[in-house]
Amino acid sequence: MATKILIVDDSKLARMSVSKLLTSLRPDWTRFEAASADEAIILTGREHPDVILLDFNMPGTTGLELAAQLQQSHPHIPVAVISANIQVEIVERAQEAGATFLAKPLTSPDLAAFLDEAQARLSVTRPSVR
Amino acid sequence: MNAHPAVTLDDLERDALTELVNLGVSRAAASLATMVGNEVLLAVPSVEIVSYERAAHLMGERDPGKLVAVHQSFNGDISGGALLIFPETNSLELVRAITGGELPLEDILALEQEALAETGNIVLNGCLATIANMLQRTLKVSLPEIVYGSAAEIFNNSMLSGLSADDGAVLFLYINFSVRHRAIQGYIAMLMDLPSLVALRGLIGSLILRTSDDASDDRNSNHAVH
């Protein structure tokens, strides 16, 4: 079963940018996109993504708040919060919510490192996922 | 957004511009947080193409009181002005936050101008440099200048220089921020004239093309909600 990844960002350009990196790093993964936390929650319930990438600064529920919710509802899903806002407090809050913090603009090595780590976690918790 | 008929941005161009401003302002907020030693909270940026008069009115509407602003103009493929704006009553609190709060009032007063200029310089340069890097262009940024007055006065005094406002339309960007645990709030505003907006639209188009290079191959992408 192909690994499913959900990209959550209110900016289409930002989703395109992440999507482009994923095309080169994990071409066989299935991608889903959501433009808000609400959409992300619907898609998570419907599509059961294995990995989730969240933008921090979104109108309504922020990526950090969503990461904290997901930690409660789906603790097995590796989550990364992506933001250009590299303040210590934000990085720490992402980590408290069990998420990995990635700086925006997202670079290929940073995303690759997170995906490797996520895959290592998935191979333990969901061995059927590749 | 497209209140002025002379220029229009399509949805993706507007999205890309907002994201670009978001990146710049977020980076700048991180620098400001380091300076004041507290978290800086950001709102979602607002991007509008409006008449010059409307932009001046919007500035005044947002904060009717006395303000202090650090203004820097920028030149290059795109030209315009950038402002870091605080209510005048927050100015000393900002200096206190930056200097660590140990200094007596007279020293804080003496440092006010310098501290404001330096804060503006770091925040506005951080914001503009991130935007320039994303657009793969170089922007020349002027030295910071401190301006006092009402929002409309600051706007008229600082923004008119170097802007070609003849044709009426300007690109007006602003974002609110506040400092956690401190009585400091303000906003960052940016203004560009019509020739810059036309150039900016071209640069954003190139950015979109660079970003969509491979992603346009959407075989593995499922837009299940959209």
Percent of chain B with pLDDT over 90: 25
At residue B4, does pLDDT exceed 60? no
Q: Which residue has the higher pLDDT, A109 or B168?
A: A109
User: What residue numbers bound the domain in which A119 lies?
Assistant: 4-125
B interface residues, A as partner, C-beta within 8 Å: 11-12, 15-16, 18-19, 22-24, 26-27, 29-30, 33-34, 39-40, 42, 44, 130, 134, 180, 207-208, 211-215, 217-218, 220-226
Q: Do A11 and B23 touch (CB under 8 A)?
A: no
Test mutation, B176, B221, B223, B226, chain A, max A CBs within 10 A: B221
- Residue A62 sits in a domain of what CATH number? 3.40.50.2300
Is A103 in CB contact (< 8 Å) with chain B? Answer: no
Residues A99-114 have a mean pLDDT of 94
pLDDT at A68 over 90: yes
CB atoms closer than 10 angstroms to residue A15? 25
pLDDT of B30 > 70? The answer is yes
CB spacing of A13 vs B19 below 8 angstroms: yes
Indicate whether A60 pLDDT > 70. Answer: yes
| Cα–Cα distance for residue pair A121/A127, rounded to 1 Å | 9
Tally of domains within chain A? 1
Among the partner residues B16, B217, B225, nearest to A23 by beta-carbon distance: B217
Residue A9: is its pLDDT beyond 60? yes
pLDDT for res B163: 62
As for the ipTM of the complex, it is 0.76
pTM (2 d.p.): 0.81
Angstrom distances, CA of residue A50 to CA of A8, A125, B146: 14, 10, 51
Cβ atoms of residues B170 and B51 within 8 Å: yes
Q: Check CB contact of A16 with chain B, cutoff 8 Å.
A: yes
Contact A30/B39, CB-based, under 8 Å?
no
Confidence of residue A114 (pLDDT cuts 50, 70, 90): very high
Q: Would you say residue B213 has pLDDT above 80?
A: no
**Which residue matches tokens 């095309």?**
A23
pLDDT at B1: 46
A81 touches chain B (CB under 8 A): no
Q: In chain B, which residues have their Cβ closer than 8 Å to the Cβ of A84?
A: 22-24, 26-27, 30, 130
Instruction: Tell me what the mean pLDDT of segment A78-104 comes to.
Output: 93
Average pLDDT, chain A: 93
Give the integer Cα–Cα distance in Å for B170 and B190: 10
The pLDDT value recorded for residue B215 is: 47
pLDDT at B219 over 70: no
Classify residue A130: in a domain, yes or no: no
CB contact under 8 A, A46 and B224: yes
pLDDT in tens, B136-155: 998 988 888 999 998 888 87
Give B2's pLDDT tier (boundaries 50, 70, 90).
very low
Q: What is the DSSP letter of B90?
A: G
Q: Please report the pLDDT score of residue A125 as a whole number.
A: 82
Model confidence band, residue A120 (pLDDT cutoffs 50, 70, 90): very high
Provide the pairing of β-strand B67-76 with B145-149: antiparallel
- What average pLDDT does the structure give for chain B? 83
Given pLDDT bands bounded at 50, 70 and 90, which one contains residue B103?
A: confident
Residue with tokens 């690109």: B171
Residue A9's closest chain B neighbor by CA?
Answer: B19
Ordered by start, the domain boundaries in chain B are 11-211
Given the candidates 3.40.1550.10, 3.50.50.100, 3.40.50.300, 3.30.70.120, the CATH classification of the domain at B11-211 is: 3.40.1550.10
A85: chain B residues, CB-CB within 8 Å: 26-27, 29-30, 42
Chain A with chain B: Cβ pairs closer than 8 A: 100
Partner B contacted by A65 (CB < 8 A) = no
Residue A80 counted as domain residue: yes
